[in-house]
Structure 1
Amino acid sequence: MELFAVPDLPEIREGDDLGALIDDRVDLRPDDVVCVASTVVSKVEGRAFDLDDFPAGPRAREIAARLSEISGDEKDPRFAQAVLEESTEVIMDAPFLLTESRFGHVGVNAGIDRSNVPGHDLLLLPERPSDSAERIRSGLSADRVLVTDTCGRPFRHGQRGVAIGWAGMAPARDWRGEADRDGRELGVTVESVADELAAAANLVAGEGDGGTPVVVVRDFEWGDHGEHDAHFRDVDGDLIRQAVRGWEFDE
Structure 2
Amino acid sequence: MSVPVNRPAGSTDGLTILPVRGIGEITTGTSLAAVVHDALAGADLALAPGDVVVITSKVVSKALGLHGDPSIERADLVLTESVRVVAERRTSTGHTRVVEAKAGPVMAGAGIDSSNADDDVRLLLPHDPDAEAGRIHGELSSLVGHGDFAVVLSDTSGRSWRGGLTDFALGCHGISPLEDLRGLADTHGHDLAVTVRNVADEVAAAADLVKGKLDRVPVAIVRGLDARFLDPQAAGARTLVRSGPTDWFALGRAEAVRDALGVAAGTPLSQQVGIESVHPEPLEDRVHRAWAVAVAPDETSQDAGLDGAGTDWTVVCADPYALGRCAARFEVALAGERLVADLTPVTDGVRVRIGDSRH
Matched residue SS, 2:86: strand
Alignment partner, residue 241 of structure 2: 232
- Unmatched 5+ stretches in structure 1: 55-77
**1:179 equivalent in alignment to 2:174:** no
Q: Deviations over 1:70-99 (max 9, x none)?
A: xxxxxxxx0011000000001112143000
What's the Cα RMSD here?
Answer: 2.2
Alpha-carbon offset, residue 136 of structure 1? 0.8
Q: SS at 2:89's partner residue? A: coil
* Equivalent residue for 2:57, pick from 26, 38, 47: 38
Q: CA deviation at 1:239?
A: 0.7
Residues 18 and 44 in structure 1, CA contact (< 8 A), matched pair in contact too: yes
> What is the CA deviation profile of residues 4-31 of structure 1, one whole-angstrom value per residue up to 9, with x for unaligned ones?
1112112111111101211222211131
Partners of 2:176 and 2:229 within 8 A in 1: no
- CA distance, structure 2, for counterparts of residue 236 and residue 103 of structure 1: 20
CA distance in 2, matches of 1:13, 1:235: 38
Identity of aligned residues (%): 36
Report the equivalent of 1:217. 222
Q: TM-score, normalised by structure 2?
A: 0.59
Mapped partners of 2:159, 2:139: distance in 1? 33
Matched, 1:155 2:161: yes
Asked if 2 retains the 8 angstrom alpha-carbon contact of 1:174 and 1:228, the reply is no
- What is the distance in 2 between the residues matched to 1:90 and 1:236? 17
Q: Aligned partner of 2:195: which letter?
A: T
Contact 1:172 1:193 survives alignment (8 Å): yes
Question: 1:149-178 deviations in whole A, cap 9, x for unaligned?
Answer: 011112222111111100011211111121
1:107 partner SS:
strand
Which amino acid is 1:17 matched to? S
Q: Which has the larger radius of gyration?
A: 2
Q: Return 19-28 or 235-244, whichever deviates more.
A: 235-244
Matched, 1:47 2:66: yes
Q: Is the 8 A contact 2:99 2:106 kept in 1?
A: yes
SS at match of 2:240: coil
Q: What does 1:132-147 correspond to in 2, within 5 Å?
A: 132-140=132-140, 141=144, 142-147=148-153
Q: Which has the higher contact order (CA 8 A, sep 6+)?
A: 1
* Unaligned residue ranges in structure 2 (runs of 5+): 1-14, 41-45, 91-95, 259-275, 282-359
After TM superposition, give the deviation of residue 120 of structure 1 in Å.
3.2
Instruction: Tell me the equivalent position of 1:246.
Output: 256
Question: In the TM superposition, what is the alpha-carbon distance from 1:228 to its structure 2 partner?
Answer: 7.7
In 1, Cα distance between equivalents of 2:104 and 2:251: 15
Query: How many residues of Structure 1 are paired with residues of Structure 2 in the alignment?
Result: 226
